[in-house]
Amino acid sequence: MRIRKAHTAFLIFGFVFAAIPLAAQTGQTDTSASAPTQLDVSVTQTWTDTKLDMRSGEKLQVAATGSANYAGGTSFSADGLARGWKDMLHQYAVPDAGHGALIARIGSGDGSQPFLIGASKEFVAPVAGRLFLGINESEKDAGDAQGSFHVTITVLSPGLTNAAGALVGGPAETPIPSITADVLSEVPRRVSDPQGNPGDMVNILIVGTQDQLTQTFAAAGWVQVDRSVGDTLFTGAITTLSKKDYLTMPMSTLFLFKRPQDYGFAHAEPVRVVMSRNHLRAWKSPYLVDGRPLWCIAATHDIGFERDQRNNGLTHKIDPAIDGEREYVNDTLSATGFVAQRNHVTPSDPLTTAKTATGGEFHSDGRILVLVLSAQTSASN
């Protein structure tokens, strides 16, 4: 059995945002060059399919010229317009990028993390997938917009030529020998509230250091939530002054291993963050797997509000089909290129249906997602 007690002391590290990280890659690369691809990206639609399928490790340069405008507004380039106060009320794919800026994403699924291109950018694909270019705008903006950007895409390095280079969305699922039945038996199936009432399901296990954990979540677009109402007021004020979307509203405290969560992470739509967001809590377990900490994750998706059956108060309502949130975490983290191995495992005593501490029901297929993080992570381009 590859499991032993570890020290539970930890340091809280800050996190950095990353559009697309340069994950360390292995395997042969093809150095042959190809002619640049040229296309027009209209500001009247949110996303444009480039028809280009990127390989893991492929490096591109994207350059954009031209101008566009919104009804009654001034002309702007692919760098977009400076954020204004009214932009706080809109939902933009890249919260800290200019309004109307050229953006991109690799893949079309919900787990694909958009990032800023602007007038020019070089970037490396952390995993394989279709390249889409878009405009950092709301659907209403697109209906009132005019113009397009002329985009030139140049392949600087074609990336990996082996089979792994073509795997879309991250590594293939394979058995992880160190995640044994003995390991799974040590992990509690559920977390609890401060009164000891059983609550959310532990539906994800992550193997990695604290720094690897925080860097991977940051690269995937997840933010660490505020720890208190005081932090909320401060962060909200600073965010408003900088005209960025406030996404770090705190979540309630739950317990595992007789202590509150070490981290809370959220992935939310701006404006709707109060009622709807993807969120999770992470606990560093007292165990090591292959020499690195094993983290226990309880992930749920807030979809509105409901009555708290403990006190008749108002509480968040989670999507009862919680496996969807498990897979959302899988997609977003695996797309960073920082996941070295992944698999779904079924413990001997799977949890398939239960109620949260507030009384809301949830159901699952009982499987737990296991992600083993790469020993090498980087949060810079």
| Residue whose entry in the numeric block shows the structure tokens 């101008």 | 67
Question: How far is it, in rounded angstroms, from Cα 55 to Cα 294?
Answer: 30
- Per-residue pLDDT at 126: 96
Residues 228 and 102 in one domain: no
Question: How far is it, in rounded angstroms, from Cα 284 to Cα 295?
Answer: 5
**The domain boundary residue, chosen from 126, 161, 196:** 161
* Closest to 169 (Cα-Cα) out of 339, 368, 52, 29: 339
- Per-residue pLDDT at 44: 96
Q: What's the CATH code of the domain at 64?
A: 2.60.120.430
Residues 42 and 156 in one domain: yes
Q: Residue 291: how many CB atoms within 10 A of its CB?
A: 11
Question: How far is it, in rounded angstroms, from Cα 166 to Cα 173?
Answer: 14
Q: What are phi and psi of 129, to 5 degrees?
A: 165, 165
Strand partners, 348: none
31 burial (CB, 10 Å; 0-12 / 13-18 / 19+) is exposed
157: alpha, beta or left? (left if phi > 0; alpha if psi -120 to 50): beta
- Per-residue pLDDT at 4: 43
Rg for the chain (alpha carbons), in Å? 22
| Residue whose entry in the numeric block shows the structure tokens 């039945």 | 181
**The domain boundary residue, chosen from 128, 161, 194:** 161
Burial 230-247 (b: 16+ CB within 10 A, else e): eebeebeeebeeeebbbb
pLDDT by position in tens, the chain (length 381)? 444 444 333 333 333 333 334 343 445 444 455 799 999 999 999 899 999 999 999 999 999 999 999 987 789 999 999 876 554 445 688 988 999 999 999 998 888 999 999 999 999 999 999 999 999 998 888 998 999 999 999 999 999 999 989 999 999 999 999 999 999 999 999 999 999 999 899 999 999 999 999 999 999 989 898 554 343 333 333 333 333 433 545 678 999 999 999 999 998 554 333 445 788 999 999 999 999 999 999 999 876 654 555 555 655 566 899 999 999 999 999 999 999 999 999 999 999 999 876 777 899 999 999 999 998 765 444
Is the separation of the CB atoms in 115 and 92 below 8 Å?
no
Whether 277 is in a domain gets the answer yes
Token output for 264: 């809370």
- Angle, vertex CA 137, rays to CA 134 and CA 140, nearest 5: 120
Whether 14 is in a domain gets the answer no
In sequence order, which residues have a C-beta less than 8 Å from that of residue 302 and are 6 or more positions away?
275, 276, 277, 278, 279, 316, 317, 318, 319
Residues 194 and 150 in one domain: no
Helices (H) and strands (E) in the chain, counts: 5, 25
* Closest to 112 (Cα-Cα) out of 225, 4, 20, 229: 20
Residues 278 and 361 in one domain: yes
Residues 289 and 305 in one domain: yes
Token output for 184: 């799974």
Question: How far is it, in rounded angstroms, from Cα 148 to Cα 68?
Answer: 6
Query: Domain range for residue 253?
Result: 166-373
* Closest to 360 (Cα-Cα) out of 197, 199, 192, 190: 199
Is the separation of the CB atoms in 225 and 264 below 8 Å?
yes
Strand partners, 17: none
Length reported for the chain: 381
- Per-residue pLDDT at 316: 54
Whether 378 is in a domain gets the answer no
Cα 221 to chain centroid distance, Å, stands at: 4
**The domain boundary residue, chosen from 161, 177, 205:** 161
- Per-residue pLDDT at 232: 39
Is the separation of the CB atoms in 151 and 36 below 8 Å?
no
Whether 365 is in a domain gets the answer yes
- Per-residue pLDDT at 74: 84
Residues 202 and 326 in one domain: yes
Whether 9 is in a domain gets the answer no
In sequence order, which residues have a C-beta less than 8 Å from that of residue 268 and are 6 or more positions away?
247, 276, 277, 278, 279
Question: How far is it, in rounded angstroms, from Cα 167 to Cα 172?
Answer: 7
Residues 196 and 72 in one domain: no
Residues 113 and 189 in one domain: no
Is the separation of the CB atoms in 149 and 121 below 8 Å?
no
Whether 17 is in a domain gets the answer no
Residues 242 and 308 in one domain: yes
Residues 89 and 199 in one domain: no
Is the separation of the CB atoms in 248 and 266 below 8 Å?
yes
Whether 230 is in a domain gets the answer yes
- Per-residue pLDDT at 156: 97
Query: What is the number of structural domains in the chain?
Result: 2
| Residue whose entry in the numeric block shows the structure tokens 């952390």 | 126
Residues 64 and 132 in one domain: yes
* Closest to 344 (Cα-Cα) out of 367, 373, 322: 367
Residues 215 and 363 in one domain: yes
Q: What are phi and psi of 174, to 5 degrees?
A: -140, 155
Is the separation of the CB atoms in 330 and 370 below 8 Å?
no
Whether 24 is in a domain gets the answer no
